[in-house]
Amino acid sequence: MAMPGTNTRRTLLVSVRDSLSVMAIDLATGDTVGVAKMGEDREQKPHEFALSPDGRFAFASIYGNGPYGANTRPGKEIAVIDLMTMTRIGTVDIDLYRAPHGVAADGDGMIWVTTERNHSAIVIDPTTRAIVRNVWMQVPVHFVAAAPGGRTMWFAHKEYPFVTAVDVARKAVIGRVDLPIGAQSIKASPDGRFLYVGDFHRPLLHVVDVAAMSVARTVPLVAVPGWPYATPDGRFVVVTTWNEPAERGFVEIFAAADLASVGVVECGAEPFHATVSDDGDHIYVALADGRIPLIDLARATIAEDSLRANGTGAEQVMIVDL
């Protein structure tokens, strides 16, 4: 996002837990062009973020002092970042709501945040920065994804064996899809027909038929899934996966039409979020060691490996104009 009359540049935003920051990388040069520090407290680790409708501000979750299952001091803040100046300019104090993690914008521009300890998601108005609704889901809520058009929000609950659909207009639960075990992250297909769901602790990808509200297919993976992605052009489904005992990370690529394997890329560290490049042929992947390789989707190879976060624990990546 740039002010009128100024030049824009394609920029990769990256949340980096261990450097307590959200940073910006110029994709044309690979240079770091901004670093928004969350603070000096070691618990000010940003996880996921979403943008205001005008692209001016990012809202980043401050989850707490540890990962899922070991977050003994859960956070209660959403950091507000001015992307023009790449500084943290404020905080949405979510008060009694604790352990915010997943963040996504709906079709109206409202910011949805999962509040794990409260078994709910809260809705934040990005203009007033006030909480306008709490949607209770009865069990811990960790991940969120918007369906195309942003009229339905999907939520995943880790070890709890279902995913939940919430209607944006009514801000109410409208259905659940049962799963065998539980779910890691989730992502909708670009046409909205399918929801891709990573199994909680097995190397499996579940494909939910949204119209039928049931699992239509399960695809075997090389390792346990973290985050699935569907490319906007509908050609590929990509899943970041992690074999924890062997400490081996992978990016697994499938043809969206039939979910046939295109290839598996070993990336050398645990992979987290990914985002598709402007040409639609590549994907940037955030790795736990701070590398952000660019992967050729059709060839299933690392095309470039020069981008670096400003620390370990890179989590979310998003391409924006700054």
Distance CA 67, CA 106 (A): 26
| Exposure string over 242-253, b if 16+ CB within 10 A, otherwise e | beeeeebbbbbb
pLDDT band at 6 (very low <50, low <70, confident <90, very high): low
Tokens read off for 207: 């494909």
Within 10 A of 192 (CB to CB), how many other CB atoms are there? 14
Tens digit of each residue's pLDDT (9 = 90 or more) over 242-279: 999 999 999 999 999 999 999 999 999 999 999 999 99
Q: What is the pLDDT of residue 42?
A: 85
The reported pTM is 0.96
Q: What is the pLDDT of residue 3?
A: 45
Tokens read off for 315: 């989590």
Where do the domains of the chain lie?
10-321
CATH no. for 10-321: 2.130.10.10
